[in-house]
Amino acid sequence: MSDHIVWIVLFPLLGGVACSLFGNFSKKICYPLAVGSMIASVWSSVHTLFQVIESPLHQVSYIQGGWTLDLFPRGVGIEFRADLLGALITLVVTGVGLIVVLYSKVPVQRQTPGKEPLYYTLFLLQITGLAGITLTGDAFNLYVLIEVAALTGYGLIALGSNRAAAATFNYIILGTIGASLYLLGVGYLYLKTGTLNMVGILEVIEANNLHDSPAMQVAFVLVLLGVLIKMAFFPFHAWLPKAYCHAPTTTSCLLAPLVTKVMIYVMIRMILSVFGVEFSFESTWWAEVMPWLVVVAIICAAVMALAQREIKSMLTYLIVAEVGYMVGGVWIYNYYGLVGSIFHVISDACMTLCLFLGAGIILEKCRTTHFDGLRGLFAKMPLTMIGFFIGGFSIIGLPPTCGFFSKWYLITGGMVSERWEYMVTLMFSTMVMVILFFRLIERIHLAVDESGKNLGKGHGDLGLTDEQTRFDEAPLSMLIPLLIAASIVIIVGVYNQEVVNLIELFLEDHNLPTGVTYK
Amino acid sequence: MTEDGSIFFQLLVERLNYFIYIVLLMIGLWAMIAKNNLIKKLIGMSIFQTAIILFYVSTAVKEDATIPIYLPEHDPHGTELNSESNQSGGMIHAPQVLEASLVSGYTNPLPHVLMLTAIVVGVATLGLALSVCLRIYRAYGTIEEDDLLLELEKEDGRKAGGFRKKRPRRMPSRGGKSKDKVRKGTDEKSKSGQVQTRRRKSGPSKPTSTKSNSNSDTQGGEKKPKSRRRKPSPRKPREDKS
């Protein structure tokens, strides 16, 4: 079993097939099957990460079916390639998948009764698609895996309420436009370079100096546009909030941390490994325009998050704002910005997971996530709220958590490249997030309602009966994953230097400027 | 106009395929954005995907080229005539690379193969989208986007508890009508229903209703103004026709 890289994808795939086959006989078998295949997948991705670190070129490659010919040394088949970036993100994807699948026991039984086999099949196929996206080295295969992840995602969301089905329709339309634009862009790439292998494309571009070719420009615009729609970058974000807000608890816990982050990974991959740094930043005008779009995106998303009165819908807008952070980190065209962006992909996946797990527990216990229903939750579920707010503090960027360090690099990037507008926007959005989360804390601790009317008798009285504030913690199968996620947020924060070292090792051979790039 | 090199010649003769693919792409995009009926949106989506298939397949075509299956004279396993003798001998059951000069006689198989996958993906998307449409119809009794948005607004308003005060203004005006009219399914009725609601909407209660949108509707903020803006355009021609 030296080819761990393939098993990362194969375990969830086979697990999904097994779930749909054996689920008909016994519904109880699905949960252990899903947990087992996810554990195996995480194990494989840890092995792959160590293989990548140990190998001299820092990459592991596997050509599907062994389709190599002398004429095509890169292989005519599909190649799976993990470099440090790919291996790191894959570990994040499978790790989040494992935590969510552990968490899923109670909510799946309650929200989709009788459909557990189908749910877990879709769930595992979703992981297959996402892990495949992070591992594949073939541009067309990437399209297929994007669609695998998207189709299962539509299914997972539509399993929720009727409202979720209506939101899914928007998602299908926009998601299909995004993926189709990407496919079209890949078509132009193939026409121009004659290969679909990512490294092969880059080699042809560099060798033939295609930087000024109009066809390449078209390909770049189409691919980037498709990916931006898929990652819910601000003007294209319309599908995300409703879909994630009304999806079943487990679905939003899985999709919210992963889908947008994986698409940002695709953007970084396209820029660094397919089009090349030189082409992406210097032959196009994107690097001049994108930071300003990011400014608009972050401000709009933060303000809209401020307008929400429900935890889940507030969190969905936070995702849109975070997407703005990461896109900005890439497009300020700076070494530190890119380090921050990649690190933020990892840390944002952890903290969004933490927040959505917490929100899922609140929804499970209180049957609502509206701000008015939160009073006295710290007395009722102290551990859940601690976990939830560790995620929240990480979003704000308080020091021991990982959010602080990724934001640190992003802001450093903004300063070094003298993109002041990006830096100021980050500060502004940090302030908004402080308001968002401390307002929540106020709502939970103080007996004040929306209009400022005092509901209690003062002096810490919440206006609640003893019955309502009695200790009533969530079931352990939900609580433990949340606490694991919260501790990961802190551990990644404390050991941030280890992660950043890996990212810096990956960025070593990409010629990125460390100074001012803005003219 | 038909001379070589003129833009019309390029578009209509030299690059007709690419011209048509762009036109189809735009038709599909327009249908997805502007059409009010969810099924029509899906038809637009299919056209959009088909346009891309046309693009890919067009790129593979070459003049005087044949399908990418070995011609008898190029077959590494021998021609038809001596195939029997070859069977007894050592045949190579592996892909053989032809010389570059011979390859030009075949079309490029790769785009076709890619499109097979894309067609499968498209069918899966369409099937899923249709089933979602079915669920929407069962839940809300309509597949017209405007009606659907109204229904959703009502539902969101009900859920966003704290802000119910402003909501009831619109609710009694629609009552149970929406279900009746769609279940019967006559075009005439649904049209009149839509027109009514639109007029009512743009009536005097407009400022309060927009205000309550921005407050209580959790995320529709950006969706609703869009639909309201485009509402007149798709419906006007229909009214003219009838």
The single-letter DSSP state of residue A82 is E
Note the pLDDT tens digit of each residue in B109-152. Answer: 888 889 999 999 999 999 999 999 999 999 888 888 888 888 88
For residue A377, the enclosing domain spans 308-318+329-519
Q: Strand pairing of A59-63 and A79-83?
A: antiparallel
Minimum Cα–Cα distance from B37: chain A residue:
A169
Residues in chain B within 8 Å Cβ distance of A70: 97
User: Could you give the number of structural domains in chain A?
Assistant: 1
Give the number of residues written for chain B: 242
For residue B216, the enclosing domain spans 150-233
Identity of the residue in B117, B139, B220 whose CB atom sits nearest the CB atom of A165: B139
Residues 6+ apart with CB under 8 A from A338: A268, A329, A330, A413, A507, A512
Q: Any chain A CB within 8 A of the CB of B124? A: yes
CATH number assigned to the domain comprising residue B15: 1.10.287.3510
Interface test with B, best of A183, A448, A455 (most B CBs within 10 A): A183
Residues in chain B within 8 Å Cβ distance of A449: 162
The whole-number pLDDT of residue B70 equals 76
With respect to residue A333, please indicate whether it lies within any of the assigned structural domains.
Answer: yes
Residues in chain B within 8 Å Cβ distance of A154: 128-129, 132
Quote ipTM for the complex: 0.88
Q: Is A408 left (phi over 0), alpha (psi -120 to 50) or beta?
A: alpha
With respect to residue B20, please indicate whether it lies within any of the assigned structural domains.
Answer: yes
Judged against a pLDDT cut of 60, whether residue B56 lies above it is answered with yes
Q: Compute the radius of gyration of chain A from its Cα atoms.
A: 23
Token couple for B127: 């099937």
Please indicate, yes or no, whether residues B175 and B219 belong to a single structural domain of this protein.
yes
Interface test with A, best of B219, B224, B230 (most A CBs within 10 A): B219
Minimum Cα–Cα distance from B112: chain A residue:
A187
Minimum Cα–Cα distance from B139: chain A residue:
A162
The whole-number pLDDT of residue B231 equals 44
Please indicate, yes or no, whether residues B114 and B188 belong to a single structural domain of this protein.
no
Domain boundary among B120, B140, B160: B140
With respect to residue A484, please indicate whether it lies within any of the assigned structural domains.
Answer: yes
At residue B200 the predicted structure's pLDDT band, cuts being 50, 70 and 90, is: very low
Residues in chain B within 8 Å Cβ distance of A143: 118
Is A162's CB within 8 Å of B125's CB? no
Which residues between 167 and 226 in chain B have a beta carbon less than 8 angstroms from any beta carbon of chain A?
214-216, 218-223
Please indicate, yes or no, whether residues B157 and B117 belong to a single structural domain of this protein.
no
Is B48's CB within 8 Å of A168's CB? no
Please indicate, yes or no, whether residues B118 and B161 belong to a single structural domain of this protein.
no
CA distances, A169 to each of A28, B136, B143, B217 (Å): 31, 9, 11, 18
Is B218's CB within 8 Å of A309's CB? yes
Please indicate, yes or no, whether residues B55 and B136 belong to a single structural domain of this protein.
yes
Domain boundary among B115, B140, B165: B140
pLDDT per residue as tens, chain A (519 positions): 468 888 899 999 999 999 988 888 888 888 899 999 999 999 999 999 998 998 888 888 888 776 666 666 665 678 888 889 999 999 999 999 999 999 998 888 888 888 888 999 999 999 999 999 999 988 999 999 999 999 999 999 998 888 888 899 999 999 999 999 999 999 999 988 888 888 888 888 888 888 888 888 899 999 999 999 999 898 888 889 888 988 899 999 999 999 999 999 999 999 998 888 888 888 778 888 888 999 999 999 999 999 888 889 999 999 999 999 999 999 988 889 899 999 999 999 999 999 999 999 988 888 777 887 787 788 788 888 899 999 999 999 888 889 899 999 999 988 888 888 999 999 999 999 999 998 888 888 776 666 666 666 665 566 666 666 677 778 888 899 999 999 999 999 999 898 999 998 888 888 787 776 655
Please indicate, yes or no, whether residues B134 and B222 belong to a single structural domain of this protein.
no
Nearest-angstrom CA–CA distance, A13 and B163: 45
Mean pLDDT of B23-44: 92
Please indicate, yes or no, whether residues B228 and B158 belong to a single structural domain of this protein.
yes
The whole-number pLDDT of residue B6 equals 79
- Three-state secondary-structure class, residue B102: helix
Please indicate, yes or no, whether residues B53 and B155 belong to a single structural domain of this protein.
no
- Report angle CA A90, A400, A93 to the nearest 5 degrees: 10
Q: Are A104 and A63 in contact (CB under 8 A)?
A: no
Amino acid identity of A2?
S
Going by C-alpha positions, the residue among A293, A281, A339, A324 that lies closest to residue A518 is: A281
Q: Which residue has the higher pLDDT, A56 or B209?
A: A56
With respect to residue B81, please indicate whether it lies within any of the assigned structural domains.
Answer: no
The whole-number pLDDT of residue B216 equals 40
Which residues between 41 and 60 in chain B have a beta carbon less than 8 angstroms from any beta carbon of chain A?
41, 45, 48-49, 52, 55-56, 59
Is A245's CB within 8 Å of B218's CB? yes
Nearest-angstrom CA–CA distance, A80 and A111: 36
Count the neighbouring beta carbons within 10 Å of the beta carbon of residue B101.
7
Judged against a pLDDT cut of 60, whether residue B86 lies above it is answered with no
Please indicate, yes or no, whether residues B121 and B203 belong to a single structural domain of this protein.
no
Which residues between 90 and 119 in chain B have a beta carbon less than 8 angstroms from any beta carbon of chain A?
95, 97, 110-111, 114, 117-118
Q: Which residue has the higher pLDDT, B175 or A219?
A: A219
Nearest-angstrom CA–CA distance, A276 and A145: 22
User: Could you give the number of structural domains in chain B?
Assistant: 2
Judged against a pLDDT cut of 50, whether residue B28 lies above it is answered with yes
Is B160's CB within 8 Å of A180's CB? no
- Report angle CA A242, A410, A243 to the nearest 5 degrees: 10
Please indicate, yes or no, whether residues B173 and B199 belong to a single structural domain of this protein.
yes
Is A151's CB within 8 Å of B128's CB? yes
Please indicate, yes or no, whether residues B227 and B111 belong to a single structural domain of this protein.
no
Is A177's CB within 8 Å of B29's CB? yes
